Amino acid sequence: MFCKQEDITSMDKYTFSVISVLAPAFFVLYFSSCKTNDFFERNIAIPNQAWERSFKPSVNFDIADTTSLYNIYVTLRHTHAYGYNNIWLNVQFQLPGDTVKQQRVEIPLASNEAWLGTGMDDIYEVRQLITPQPFRFKTPGKTTFTIEQVMRETPLQHIMNAGIRVEKVVQ
């Protein structure tokens, strides 16, 4: 019924030898398989969750690597009380060297059945890719993104945050 002392000792030695071989192998595999995905993300709170057309969240960041490609996303956080299944935005890019690009973007927030994106309780977050293909910044320096809501309703109720996410494409 009870284990003999020599059985416990041999089992402990075996367990120790297995762990001493597998643990370093696990850590080597774990850390060598990780790829870093460089990104920048900043979200701006919408005052009182009521987005006035005159309030245009603006995000600045520096680009140093002009050899890489980037995916650019708009991020939005809203409550379940938001009254529409989409939102229309004007997104303005102020690139280094005074180049300005503007694009009108429709971001779907709901299907016929449910809210899109990730949700917790009554808050939902959507991340929408706004560049049709990965984007290459031609000049290093400060880049500014400005987001303007262009829906008919103003203020646009139940929008909590708006922001930009820029991810380096891992090749």
Residue 86 · residue 109 · CB < 8 Å: yes
State how beta strands 39-45 and 159-168 pair: antiparallel
Helix, coil or strand: residue 1: coil
pTM equals: 0.74
The per-residue pLDDT for 37 is 55
Q: How far apart are CA 171 and CA 168, in angstroms?
A: 9
Helix, coil or strand: residue 48: helix
The per-residue pLDDT for 53 is 95
Segment among 34-43, 54-63, 69-78, 110-119 with least mean pLDDT: 34-43
